[in-house]
Structure formats: structure tokens, C-alpha cells
A and B are shown apart, each in its own frame.
Chain A
Amino acid sequence: MKSPLANFEADVIIIGAGAGGGSAAWRLSHYGFKVLVLDAGPSYSPSDYRQSSHTWEKPFPYKTASKSAYEVAELQPIHELKNELRSWNKMKGLLVKGSRRANFGYHHVRGVGGSSLHFTGEAHRLNPDSMQMKTQHGVAADWPMGYKELEPYYQTAEERVGVAGPLSDTRCPRSAKYPQPPHPYSFAAKVLDKAAIRVGHQPQANSLAVLSKPYDNRPACNYCGGCQRGCMLTDKGSIDVTYLKHALASGNCQILPETEVLKLETHHGRISSILASHKGKLHKLSAQWIILAAGAVQTPRLLLNSKNAHYPHGIGNQNGQVGQNFMETLLTTVSAEHPEKLGSHRGLPVNWVSWKYNAPDSIPGVIGGCRFGPSMSESDLVGPVAYATRVIPGWGLKHKARMREQLGKVLSITSIGECLPHKKSYISLSDQLDQHGIPVPRIHSYLDQNAMARLAFMNAECRKILDAAGCDSPFETFSSADAFSSTHVFGTCRMGTDPRQSVCDAFGSVHDIKNLFICDASLFPSTGGGESPGLTIQALAIRSADYIRTLN
């Protein structure tokens, strides 16, 4: 059926132009499929970013419709939490004032490119040891494929994006070297690198979707450090300037921004049509294949909201698995001032990474790994506004003088760790309705003792590195222990071999719906030990696209 919105008859409709949707669109359009990509958010262009303006320190420039509505259910009490696990700042005291974990947000962008528009650009493969958590450690679930099967797709994704990585990387076996040489470390990252080595870490150059050399008509990075504010230069491998650019160039793809899918309709075990809202009008669209890539919060929401007489609990939810197993970012960041000027506001956000504790059994006494890296830019401690409001207390002439002395002295270390599924962490539908009268997702998050123990280890290790770097005692800690604050979300439509325990098969095909695929982080059976998920989402989506091609 020719769509009233697109100027061609689509073979595939993709819902969501983020990491999963964008990479599937690229692969399928290059195979000759006619692909229509719908995204609820707006398009962005480099001129939307403020990095060259005086107000460059302002956050990512959200536009109307570039945030989705959601709700966070009441979080767990924190009265038993030890002080060293709390989030605090020396100027502001405890950052969570109440007696429960606080909601600091599910951070995302709705837009063509999805959350990659403000991501940091880390491009990690998943540790192969993290893919068999059930068999090896009795927790979470196994991935229904091994690392070996995913490896060629990782390689394809790295080449499409232009990932710069270390010359030798033994953590995950590779069939070819990284397409781009590694980035040099900033001066401050070198100081932290030496400190990490002193306390027993083995840091290596981080693999980044950031160009170290010109590539694919995009320039090399100039180390402004503003990745999370959107990259003006386009050297950061966000989905719009990599996959979607090439999908459009194929002539087989059309992207419709500000088009929100409200409901999936079924007929005889297939998605027969989708209901989308575009510029205030409702449209019914259909295609042979539907790919749902709305991210791990909105994908289950759409499936649950699409319940009908045949699927009374929601599409794909005959076993009550849609929305379960929600996993979030488990993180701790510690920041401190160094006695010397290091110019620490300069350079890439996460130059190096220490994978020493990344394997699931590497933290003593706790299952699930983690990783460490510098994070001045990710912590947003790279400009005068941040220094004036978070680092340097006081006011008056002395404060101004201290501002001049101290800028560039802050060092931060972040650790991200494995988040295991818990029955109290899931996505459900809220009573709150969006502007279309449809329930918004409600996020339930819970961290158990195992997660708290992992966080305690991560926190202590971050402090050790800063201490070894010669920093003063920390002025700020941020921790998931008392704050829900998630940039990586996973697991809510888990893939697996047993339909009673999963929503999709190993290719993202929804078990009971013949033409519906899921291509986003909802699929992850486990999170890995702190790896950033974007590259794995892309590899999985490219693999699903190849599978769809075989079905056709």
C-alpha cells in the first residue's frame, strides 16, 4: 500500500531513527528494500548546536517533541545507605535530600539519530564472558547467540561509523583492526592514566565513534570535548551522519521526523497496520515488515498500548515478558581538584578505559563487572559555569580570583557497572496520559544488595585513582545508589530461545508475530560489565536486517 506520507510504497517501516532503527534502515535500504523510517522527534543539523556560541555550556538543545513523556514510580528507601555511597557536593551537601532514591531522569533524545545525538561516542563490543550470565553465574539470562556470531556485525558497524580504537585490543577477539587509529590522550587523561596504572589498572585507548582522521566526508575531531551537547563538526558518529546519511543516499529510504507511532494493529498473527500521528493528523500505514526500534522504554510501552482482543495483554506479551527485566545505568562518578593546572577542560570525554574489572567474576565477592575512565567532560566539569556553581564555593573578589586559578584543575573518574535484572525493575503503563490520550510508560527501578556492593567497589576504586593522581579529597560524588539517572536502558523485550522467558528470538523477531522485529536495546538479556551499548545495538540490528533479507 502506498503510504499517504511517503512518496513510495514501503517494504519495511521502521519505528525509531536511533541506533537500532538507523542501522537497520541503512542495511535494508542497501539491499534494495524500500524503507520508511518514522521518528517521533525532530531532525537536527550541526547548526542546531551551540558549541561556537558564548552559551556553549548550556545543555543539549532540546526542541519541542525531543523528549518523551514518562513517569518514574516511587523509588526505594535509602535510610540504610552508607554515606560513602551517597551523591553529594561540597557546596550543596547531599544531592538527594529525601529518604528515598530520587529520580534524576531517563536521559534520551527523541529525534532523527535518537540518543546518539548527545551520546559520548563510546563504541564498545560486549565482553564475550558477559553473554552467558545464566549458565556461568546463575543470574540474568544467556544471549541466544555467541560473541563469534556477532563479531562480523561489530566489524561492519565499526566500519560504517569509523570507530577509532587501540592498535591491540585483546578483550574481545577481532577479525580486523579498528578502521581508525586511536586518539591521543589529553594532558589530563595522561595524568589519570598514570595514576590508574599506579593502582593496578591497565588502561587502554577507548574505542570511540569519533574520527581520528577524516573519513566518509567527515572531518577529524578537534577535541572540543562537547560531544554531549551535539557535535557541530559531524566527526562524532551519531546515527544521522553515519547510517541514515547512507540510507538516504541509497534512494530507497525516506525519513519522516515528528511522526509518532501510537498503536500497532494486528490481523492473523501479523502487524497489519500502524497508526501514526504526523502534524496533528492520524495516518494508517502498512508494510511487509515492521521494525520497532523506539528504545527500551518506549518499545515496551508501544507493545503494551497496542493490546487488542487477540493480544489482550499487549503485543508479544502472551507470557507477560514485555517490559520485564528493565536494566539501567549503574554508575558512580567521583570528582576532585588537582593541585596543578592541567587544562582538564580540553580533549575527548573518555580518552581511556580500564577493563580490569569488566569480566562478570572480576570484582571480589560480587557478580557482574564494571569499567573505569576519565569523565571531566561527561561530568560536565569543563567550563566556567560548572566551576562557579559546583567546584568553587564563595563569592566576591576572592571567588573570581579562585575561578581564574582553578579552571582546568578538576579531575573526575567514572565507573559504570553491570546492572542485573530484578523483578522490581520493569516498565509498565502509567495512569498518566500523553497528548494523544495514551498511557505514558512508568519506569520501576530497584537496586538490590548485589548492585549496592558493586557500586561500593566502583566508588572506592574511583577514589583510589584520584588519590593516586595527587588530587585533594573529592568535592563531588554522584552515584546510582541514591539516584535513578539512566542513559543506558536495556532488557525490556529480551531475546532468547524460550518464548516463556523472552519476547523475541535471536534475530529480534517477536515470537508470536510473524512480521514484527525489535531492533534496540530492549533485546539485551544482560548489560555487560559497563560497556556502552550503542555498538552492540547496531550490530544486532544489522544482523536482524540480514535475517529479514533471507526471509524475503
Chain B
Amino acid sequence: MSNKQQDHSTHSHNRISRRLVLKLLALAPLCWEQTYAQLNNPEPVPPGVLPSVLDVLIPGDSTPGATDLKIEESLLDTASQIPRYPELIQQGTQWFNTTSLRSFYKPFPELAPNAQIRIVEAAFNQPEMTLPRVFIERIREDAMTLYYHNSASWTGMDINRPIQPLGYPDHEEPPGKL
């Protein structure tokens, strides 16, 4: 038996550098256990859930937050090209909203920041392969990737421009002279 399928998924999807595998979750076939019966009959999710979750993951401070950089749009665009990803987003955001209604009697976007943070923490703490855990880890990975591809996110870091055309003429020196 060959592992054609695995070959295909790792080969064409994972971002692999010369000698290192990079994006480990990225674009691997998505699967999760559906632990919430109601998700089998998906209800419409209020539109603000995904951006609110993204803003908890990447809030604004001296640099923009996720929604300031329209990460939601780019994420949905990425997701539309990956089998089952839109479904994961639909069900994942529904989990967030349902949990929010059950615990705090309000839709997720209307919660105070601390309550939102508690639900995000809860999602990260679920067992592996459950819907909330797969959802939150996957969107963390992709949102961070999309966010840090945007130069507006680089303010305050030791990297503040693309690597060319200037390169790093100061590479021999301690950092901080850029």
C-alpha cells in the first residue's frame, strides 16, 4: 500500500522549507468529533462572532487588531479553497455563540472582553480533536499567518520592512541599528 493520499496532502499543502516542515496544522485534512448535537442542525450564526473571536486572538494595541486589518475576509477567502474549512468555521462560531448564550446569556459579540477571553480559553482547553479545539487552533494558525503577512503588524518589532530591496547590511552588528 502506498501513502499517496498523505503524500498529496503534505506535499501540496504544507508550507515546507528546505529542511523543515513548517505549517503543521495547515491544510491537513480537517476532521473533528461533533460533540454538540445541535451542530448537526446548524442554526445561523450572528455575523459578528468570527471577527470577535479573531479580535480576542489578535487584539488592537499600539498595532492594529485582527479586524482592523480585515483578517476575517482573508480568512474566509482562504477557507473557501479548503475542503470542510467553511463548515468548520460555521460550526466553530456556532459553538462560541451557543457557549456564550448558555454561560452569559448574551451572543458572543456582545460579551465583555473578559468573558470573551474566558470562552476562547475554554476552547483551547477542550480535548484534542473536538470541534472547539480544532476550530480555535486552526483559526489561530491562519489568522496569525495572515496578520503577520501585513506590514502594519510589524511596528515595534526588529523587522519593519520586507527583506528586499535593502537586505540587512547591518547583519554583523548587534540588532537595533535598523
Contacts and interface: CB of A to CB of B under 8 A. Distances in A.
Interface size of A as a range: 35 or more
A52 B59 contact: no
Interface of B is mostly: loop
Contacts of B99: none
A450 interface: no
B168 A407 contact: no
B162 A384 contact: no
Contacts of B120: 395
A389 B144 contact: yes
A71 interface: yes
A379 B14 CA distance: 14
B164 to A, nearest CB: 4
B102 interface: no
Contacts of B144: 385, 388-389
B15 A226 contact: no
Contacts of B149: 54-55, 57-58, 385
Interface stretch (B21-29, B34-42, B79-87): B21-29
Interface residues of B, number: 59
Interface stretch (B3-11, B43-51, B90-98, B103-111): B3-11
Contacts, number: 208
Contacts of B168: 186, 222-225, 343, 346-347
Given A400-B58, A432-B4, A380 B17 contact: yes
B63 interface: yes
Nearest to A94: B24
B39 to A, nearest CB: 24
A54 B10 contact: no
B171 A430 contact: no
A184 B58 CA distance: 38
B159 interface: yes
Interface in A180-223: 184-187, 190, 221-223
A25 B20 CA distance: 32
Given A51-B162, A485-B16, A104 B1 contact: no
A331 interface: yes
B33 interface: no
B167 A223 contact: yes
Interface string B114-136: 00010010000000000000000
Given A347-B168, A379-B20, A408-B175, 13 more contacts: A55-B149, A72-B7, A75-B3, A92-B24, A105-B11, A119-B18, A187-B172, A187-B174, A222-B169, A232-B165, A375-B19, A400-B59, A478-B19
Pairs of residues from A and B, 7 with the lowest C-beta to C-beta distance, nearest first: A222-B167, A343-B175, A346-B168, A51-B164, A380-B17, A347-B171, A384-B148
